[in-house]
Amino acid sequence: MKHKRVTIEDVAELAGVSRQTVSRVLNDRADVAEETRARIQSAIQTLGYSPSLAARSLPQQRTHIIGLVIPYGPTYLFSDPHLLGFICGVDQIANQRGYNLLLSTARDDGTGALSDVYGLSAFERLINTRHIDGAVVVETLNSRQGISTLRQHGYPVVILGYGTDIEQPYTVHSDDRGGARLAIMHLLSLGHQRLGIISGGERTLTAMEERLAGCRQALAEHGLTLDPARVAYGDLTPESGMAATSRLLGCATPPTAIFALNDRMAIGAIQYLHQQGINVPQQVSIIGFDDIPQASICTPDLTTVRQPALEMGRQAGRLLLELIENDAALQQPIVLPTELIVRGSTAPVSRS
């Protein structure tokens, strides 16, 4: 059943040349006579030969595998379809360029948070086994340590996120600030003046801060400021969105429109309002951020700001390969544009 492995030597013999010449052909080197090259190619064909990666990586110092580290446990992973976009994007580029994708996720520690110990060992496994040529890491609150370690060991690392607190990071992220600005502009253009914001604040995430900054900027452009009384904080879950909405509506001058800084909280907001018998969007408009698949099928369907997850993954993959193959690249964040998706959860402010 298991065919005896075809080696480079077999090819060489059949083509009547030496190993090295075959190797040259395999690695697309220049100095091989055209006629010889053709003969070798055909020998490769007839034997169905292809080089063993393991044998290749040993002298070559390269495995042609890149790591994708997603320091989230399944509980969170499930709820963030975004990550699938990253995975696909990186995988596409990897495949296209002849690399393979090694995936590394974390494990839930039961509380839903990430087990640091395990997270570290996931990074460490990658480092230790010297499996990979470099890695794309999805930035989370506790990815910093792992990223540093990875880099200390000389691996090129591209961060999907802002690379907060990391020196000279290569990063890819979406234009969170601009996206938030779009959202606010949209609400303002509908006549809303009293805006509520649900941020995902407690544990500081740069993306969230950027979005908040975008809000302030857009308001400033219209001579308005962000009323701190109408900013509530959640933890990115739908439940926290519901709670935050309840708080916002309870304040002295309740908002006529709410911008939740991610879709899941926005969906929580809609649910809460629905429970309270408050009509969306007639009485209160809701806008989210991310454009997760759920956004388009909830009721009403959610107006939101789309992040190009797939493209982010692809860009990160490209950048990483650049780093691996050319040892250098433009040290400058790659920022991808966001897009306003207007659906049914926003409407002009009501007269009342």
Residues 324, 64: Cα–Cα separation, whole Å = 10
**In whole angstroms, what is the distance from residue 182 CA to residue 254 CA?**
22
Q: Which is nearer to a second copy, 162 or 272 (CB)?
A: 272
Say how far apart CA 16 and CA 39 lie, in whole Å.
Answer: 9
| Strand arrangement of the beta sheet that strand 195-199 belongs to | 231-233, 195-199, 257-260, 285-287
Name residues contacting DNA, limited to 34-53 (CB under 7 A).
34-37, 49, 51-52
From 23-31, 136-144, 174-182, 334-342, give the range in contact with DNA by CB under 7 A: 23-31
Nearer to a second copy, 16 or 112 (CB): 112
298 binds, among DNA, a second copy, none (CB under 5 to 8 A by kind): a second copy
Q: How far is the CB of 32 from DNA (least distance, A)?
A: 4
Pick between residue 12 and residue 68 the one whose CB is nearest to a second copy: 68
Helices (H) and strands (E) in the chain, counts: 14, 12
N-terminal to C-terminal alpha carbon distance within the chain: 79
**With respect to DNA, which residue has the nearer C-beta, 62 or 247?**
62
Assess contact for 66 and 101: CB atoms under 8 A. yes
Residue 260: C-alpha distances to residues 105, 184, 211, 252, 303 (Å):
28, 11, 10, 20, 11
Only segment of 31-39, 193-201, 238-246, 337-345 that touches DNA (CB under 7 A): 31-39
Nearer to a second copy, 85 or 234 (CB): 85
Residues numbered 88 to 147 that lie near a second copy (CB under 8 A) are 88-89, 91-92, 95, 100-105, 107, 122, 125-126, 128-131
Rounded alpha-carbon distances, angstroms, from residue 37 to 9, 20, 45, 48, 68 = 15, 12, 12, 16, 36
Determine, following the binding rule CB under 7 A, whether residue 60 of this chain makes contact with DNA.
Answer: yes
x/- site string to a second copy, residues 41 to 70, per CB under 8 A? Answer: ---------xxxxxx-xx----xxx--x--
Phi, psi of 194 (to 5 degrees): -95, 95
Inter-residue contact 338 to 262 (CB < 8 Å): no
Give the tokens for residue 106.
Answer: 């974390």
- The answer to the question of residue 8 lying near a second copy (CB under 8 A) is no
Q: DSSP letters along 119-173, please?
A: HHHHHHHHHHHT--SEEEEE--TT-HHHHHHHHHTT--EEEES--TT-SS-EEEE
CA–CA separation, 245 vs 273, rounded Å? Answer: 8
- Least separation in angstroms between CB 161 and DNA: 33
* Binding residue (CB under 7 A) for DNA from 58, 117, 141, 220: 58
Interface pattern 237-256 for a second copy (x via CB under 8 A): -x------------------
Question: What mask, x for binding DNA by CB under 7 A, covers residues 142 to 181?
Answer: ----------------------------------------
Per CB under 8 A, 274 contacts a second copy: yes
In whole angstroms, the minimum distance from the beta carbon of 28 to DNA comes to: 10
Locate tokens 């640091």: which residue? 116
Torsion 242-247-251-257 (CA) sign: negative
Residues in contact with a second copy by CB under 8 A are 1-3, 50-55, 57-58, 63-65, 68, 73-74, 77-79, 81, 83-85, 87-89, 91-92, 95, 100-105, 107, 122, 125-126, 128-131, 153-154, 238, 267, 271, 274, 293-294, 297-299, 310
Residues in contact with DNA by CB under 7 A are 5, 7-9, 16-24, 26-27, 30-37, 49, 51-52, 55-56, 58-60
